[in-house]
Chain A
Amino acid sequence: MNKQEEDRIQSLLKQAMPPVSHELNRDLWPQMLRRLQQRSAAVPWFDWALLALLVLGLFVAPSSIPVLLYHL
């Protein structure tokens, strides 16, 4: 590929891509805060896994229920 072709393709690209404003018109912090609150409310997957393990353990060995209650 020669320089002339490169320049021509670059020129075509510049014409084809609409110019966009580079300025941010609003503060995005409220959106960021919502995102942080959403995520912090979500229960992590490993918490669910631990709960499932506990339920399974109690199902397999029901005799451990009084021991568990004693320790709670």
Chain B
Amino acid sequence: MTVLEQQSDLQQEFVQGDLGAFETLFRQHQSEVYRWVVRIVRDPGAAEDLTVETFWRVYRAHARFRPDGNFAAWTRRIATNAALDHLKMSRPETALVDDFPAEASPNPGVQRDLRERTARAFSRLPAKLKIAATLALIEEQPYTEIADALGISVGAVKLRVFRALRLLRKNLRQLGVEP
């Protein structure tokens, strides 16, 4: 029996609700799911919980999965939705203050302050834009992968990244940072 046939049988058993098959798939894919989620939420503890949450959703939906389907891609999309839900629930940081003075000299204190302001500006983005910006601009993932994971077109990903950049520029200006 080839590896492909074994995988197909495993997925068939998973679709029928076999816990052993689910455990095997879990162990095969947990690291990959974790790596994807931690890129988005940037918190190892939350990423572990979200990995479990992802597989919980996967297990509940086992009957809807096609046995010949791409388990990794399906799981990644579910993981992305779980991470999106997490970002929506986590509260953004303190409200923006309009009258921060602009920065001029680059010294360590100023650099730290700049990083804090940038992080604050970023935290104010809506979750959907934040996820696109994180994956595209910080993690530099290919647009096609981001599109697959979010279940949208590449054009829609580019639009979200563009909107995120525009909003970030506005938020940064409000915080006294001139990009």
Give A contacts to B, CB under 8 Å: 1, 5-6, 8-10, 12-18, 20-24, 27-29, 31-32, 35-36, 39
Contacts and interface: CB of A to CB of B under 8 A. Distances in A.
A17 B119 contact: yes
Interface size on B, as a range, is: 35 or more
B179 A32 contact: no
Interface of B: 19, 23, 26-27, 30-31, 34-35, 38-39, 42-44, 48, 51-52, 55-56, 59, 111, 114-116, 118-119, 122, 133-134, 137-138, 162, 165-166, 168-169, 172, 177, 179
Given A17-B119, A24-B30, A35-B52, 20 more contacts: A1-B169, A10-B137, A12-B179, A13-B122, A13-B138, A15-B111, A15-B114, A15-B115, A16-B118, A20-B38, A20-B39, A20-B42, A21-B38, A22-B39, A24-B35, A24-B48, A27-B30, A28-B26, A28-B30, A28-B52
B52 A31 contact: yes
Counting from the closest, the 3 A-B pairs by CB-CB distance are A16-B118, A24-B34, A16-B115
Given A16-B118, A31-B52, A9 B172 contact: yes
For the residues of B in contact with A, the DSSP-based class is helix
A22 B38 contact: yes
B39 A12 contact: no
A9 B55 contact: no
Given A9-B169, A24-B31, A28-B51, A16 B44 contact: no
